[in-house]
Structure 1
């Protein structure tokens, strides 16, 4: 069902109707629709997802600034850069395929990136508590760090990016509910289901290719 373009049409209508019903801003509704298109195209491994991704994060940058989620403003800016890089990387390394091949992290890579997320979140939370009036400093920092790592892994077409997006969307449901971003709450709920489907589809694609793809060792090659 999620693979069917009709899912995107329905999800878009839901975001628009919910946005007007809840009297959300036009920019929030627009960002939500672009976000659904971005994640759905990403799950289908379409390079054009990066265009919608760039539009989405630029819109979110403005929204997060207005609501005091400053770490996520920085996240959105860096994600914008990663969308540009990801577009270049996917096309440059596609070989004979439509896009670059999917790879996986090694155990060492998983441990390394997990440690980076934990340490960076602790530092970012401390800085926000000390120097800003962020409304949700801990969740804000965690989501920001997860978003940066997830976007980097996505740009390199590494399968494990989906696990990070799934966790991030689950956390964002809490952030959006507590900050009154109700249309974005619906967006993240929809994206959560798309991310789960994207993980499944990328895994299937990786298994059915029947080609030896090298594991990525640690931070240097990730």
Structure 2
């Protein structure tokens, strides 16, 4: 048995549904990614890449083409975000977080809505998903969140929260029960991360030593 076949064999059962190793380990790395992002640790990006590779395999085995496509693009987005954080750390010694401007918030919302509509149409036409709208929403929402995360914008936590709320029922319906359970854990971690980044953003903005370069996006 090769590694790819083994990854999609059941590790155990949860609520009567098999949990493949790819789903198990992929979500473990996904949880670790959130923990590292909360700490603004640059290792969150390579960990996310590894987790996405595993979740790609799990999604394909579950017939979720949109979610599988999402993992491919997430790898590319993670590479971009990794370079952004490395650049920020090189310039200021740390990753400085901030709230988005009004224009940035509007662009994030438009990208989320328009992107979801477009990608849902593609999934439907090519018959790549049995639930194209939620599948597309998670795909586009993840990209929007990762873009905002790469820019160290606090609002990225709100986007992840919305993705989690849709991801829970979709994962369970697709047979990925373990992924659905992990999404519940994500909800708690996202709220913690949002509060932490919001606090750090206020501290940076109110610091008398903060320069203009400290407040700009990386």
Which TM-score applies when normalising by structure 2? Answer: 0.84
Q: Which has the higher strand share?
A: 2
Does 1:178 pair with 2:173?
Answer: yes
**Structure 1 runs of 4+ with >4 Å offset:** 212-216
- Which residue is 1:20 aligned to? 12
1:108-156 CA-partner distances (Å, limit 9, x unpaired): 2211221121111111112211121412111001111101111111112
Relative contact order (alpha carbons < 8 A, sep ≥ 6): 1 or 2 greater? 1
Cα contact 2:66–2:128 (8 A) shared by 1? no
Does 1:41 pair with 2:41?
Answer: no
Q: 1:123 aligns with which of 113, 118, 122?
A: 118
Q: 1:96 aligns with which of 75, 89, 92?
A: 92
After superposition, residues 19-98 of structure 1 pair within 5 angstroms as 20-22=12-14, 23-94=18-89, 95-97=91-93
- Which residue is 2:160 aligned to? 165
Distance 2:81 2:116 in 1: 24
1:21 Cα deviation after fit: 4.0
Distance 1:154 1:87 in 2: 10
Distance 2:150 2:21 in 1: 29
Cα contact 1:173–1:185 (8 A) shared by 2? yes
Root-mean-square deviation over aligned CA pairs: 1.9
Tell me, which stretches of 5 or more residues in structure 1 are unaligned? 1-18, 217-221
1:215 Cα deviation after fit: 7.0
Distance 2:30 2:128 in 1: 27
- Which residue is 2:6 aligned to? none
Distance 2:194 2:183 in 1: 16
Q: 1:153 aligns with which of 133, 148, 153?
A: 148
- Which residue is 1:7 aligned to? none
Q: 2:195 aligns with which of 200, 204, 207?
A: 200
Distance 1:164 1:157 in 2: 13
SS at match of 2:76: helix
Q: How many residues align?
A: 198
- Which residue is 1:6 aligned to? none
